[in-house]
Amino acid sequence: MFKNAPEHVLEAILKIYTRLTRKSTRTACRKIIRNFITQNQHRIVCKPKTGRILPDPVGKVFNLGEIYNNLNSEYFSGNLDIHITWSHKPNKRLMGTWKDTGSEKNLIRINRLLDAKKVPSYYINYLVYHEMLHEVFKQRVVNGRVQRHPKEFRKLERNFPLYQKACKWQKEHLD
């Protein structure tokens, strides 16, 4: 995307990575870069899909496929069609992700570290529900910023029956 970017965009990129640049200048540069990205997203060239085999959604403790199907039926009238699986590798920071794969089915990955007896099922259910909401409210760019959790997303997320309990567990055990 930046291969043929105008000089002022390339200068903005350099200024952001120069520690001597003032904060106000870096803020202005970020705005220039975001605007350029918004106007040129069609130029992004994605790597071809490798056809990597997804791990089995049936873990040692939790069956993500079963959880996904139950939540899809109960909260989304069975309308979502997403692959769900455990992550290939454990990650200490990221609990779950939703990814727009560019193919007919998008992908939810749940951190393999959470497939443990010490993790309550209500937390896994909440996490899968949260990632499913990303399929409904896909990220968008508003005023040059990527918005992943709009107000409507947060409202539905809080409607999840054990939302408070799941957030409390996450704060106590994963922060």
CATH number, span 64-173: 3.30.2010.10
23-39 and 7-16 are packed helices; what angle lies between their axes, rounded to 10 degrees?
130
Report in angstroms the alpha-carbon separations of 20 from 12, 16, 156, 170.
13, 9, 44, 39
H/E stretch holding 12 reads helix 7-16
H/E stretch holding 26 reads helix 23-39
Q: State the 10-residue block means of pLDDT for the chain, 175 residues long.
A: 85 81 84 88 64 79 96 95 90 84 85 95 97 89 81 93 95 85
Whole-prediction pTM value? 0.69
**What is the per-residue pLDDT for 114?**
95
Q: How far apart are CA 52 and CA 64, in angstroms?
A: 19
**What is the per-residue pLDDT for 111?**
94
* Delimiting residues of CATH 3.30.2010.10 domain(s) in the chain: 64-173
